[in-house]
């Protein structure tokens, strides 16, 4: 029997059920990839900045992002090799100054009217050496807080907050105003303040005006000398700058009778002994002394 060639073949349709994509085909990888690309961009920008800048420029960048540091070491002079620098402490990064306290701070421009100042005065009435030292320590903390709060609250000074260094020394609290590669306190070879430096000095004066402690002012220079024909030298320059600082402090409300000593030491007490020409060697030191 021959097959019927006119019969059409049967067509069979098979429906295949769709399957869900695996979880790893979702959008979460895009976020991780974006974070990776951002991190790589930041890394290559860092490499570019390191390669495109010199040492002084890198110091300026580091100082710009350096917070105001308060060191609590008992030291004198330039505080050893590190010279009171704020970038490093014993445990690495030094702590930020505390900006809060149990009572309101006296930040007025007058003399001795704040509540903390009155509390300190009550301690001194006991007329005991230990009480006087405790009162001085309380004043030092008050000064540290006022300076830190003023630097943090004034947008014109935020970029310079790393130029004020507070160091505990044998005589009391030393406040260093330090130059850097892109920040000069004085016009070159003179005792004339730049506007930014004068604002820093006035900030220090506003913090010191409430306290009765005696003050010493010391001027420092780097080791770059003058031409012999000028007749000037770093000894006279550092002394003139120290006296200009005294006048600026007095003009901001500090009584002249509080100044105990004004001196210039030229380049004999460098901030960075390893580099006598380091711009940070040019600085002014104002020490708030213990009353005892």
Q: How many CB atoms lie within 10 A of CB 205?
A: 19
Rg (CA), the chain: 32
Q: What is the pLDDT of residue 118?
A: 54
Q: What is the pLDDT of residue 195?
A: 92
Q: Please tell me the distance from the alpha carbon of residue 173 to that of residue 54, in angstroms, as a whole number.
A: 34
- Per DSSP, 178 falls in state E
Q: What is the pLDDT of residue 286?
A: 96
Q: Please tell me the distance from the alpha carbon of residue 231 to that of residue 242, in angstroms, as a whole number.
A: 19
Q: What is the pLDDT of residue 226?
A: 82
CB 144 within 8 A of CB 105: no
- pTM listed for this prediction: 0.57
Q: Please tell me the distance from the alpha carbon of residue 256 to that of residue 250, in angstroms, as a whole number.
A: 6
SS3 for 290?
coil
- Per DSSP, 272 falls in state S
Q: What is the pLDDT of residue 66?
A: 58
What parts of the chain have a pLDDT lower than 50?
A: 68-113, 115
Q: What is the pLDDT of residue 291?
A: 86
Q: What is the pLDDT of residue 51?
A: 82
Q: In what order do the strands lie in the sheet with 70-75?
A: 70-75, 164-169, 172-178, 283-289, 215-220, 259-264
Strands 215-220 and 283-289: antiparallel
CATH of domain 66-289: 3.30.1330.60
Q: What is the pLDDT of residue 46?
A: 85
Q: What is the pLDDT of residue 86?
A: 40
Degrees to nearest 5, angle at CA 230 with 227 and 232: 90
Which sequence spans correspond to the domains of the chain?
66-289
DSSP string, 226-264: --GGG---HHHHHHHHHHHHHHHHHHTT--GGGEEEEEE
Q: What is the pLDDT of residue 237?
A: 93
């Amino acid at each position: 029997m021959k097959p019927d060639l006119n019969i059409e073949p049967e067509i069979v349709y098979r429906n295949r059920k769709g399957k869900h994509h695996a979880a790893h085909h979702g959008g979460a990888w895009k976020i991780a990839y974006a974070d990776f690309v951002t991190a790589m961009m930041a890394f290559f920008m860092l490499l570019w900045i390191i390669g495109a800048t010199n040492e002084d420029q890198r110091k300026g960048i580091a100082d710009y992002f350096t917070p105001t540091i308060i060191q609590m070491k008992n030291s004198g002079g330039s505080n050893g090799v590190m010279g009171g620098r704020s970038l490093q402490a014993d445990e690495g990064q030094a702590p930020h100054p505390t900006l809060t306290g149990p009572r309101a701070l006296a930040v007025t421009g007058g003399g001795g009217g704040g509540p903390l100042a009155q509390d300190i005065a009550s301690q001194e009435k006991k007329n005991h050496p230990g009480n006087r030292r405790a009162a001085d320590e309380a004043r030092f903390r008050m000064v540290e807080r006022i300076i830190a709060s003023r630097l943090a609250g004034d947008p014109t000074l935020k970029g310079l907050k790393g130029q004020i260094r507070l160091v505990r020394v044998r005589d009391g609290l030393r406040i260093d105003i330090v130059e850097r590669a892109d920040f000069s306190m004085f016009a070159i070879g003179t005792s004339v303040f730049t506007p930014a430096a004068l604002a820093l000095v006035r900030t220090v004066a506003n913090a010191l005006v409430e306290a009765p402690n005696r003050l010493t002012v010391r001027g420092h220079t780097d080791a770059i000398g003058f031409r012999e024909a000028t007749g000037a030298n770093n000894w006279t320059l550092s002394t003139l700058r120290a006296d200009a600082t005294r006048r600026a402090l007095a003009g901001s409300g500090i009584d002249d009778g509080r100044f105990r000593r004004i001196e210039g030491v030229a380049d004999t007490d460098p901030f960075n002994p390893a580099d006598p020409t380091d711009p940070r060697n040019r600085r002014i030191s104002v020490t708030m002394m213990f009353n005892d």
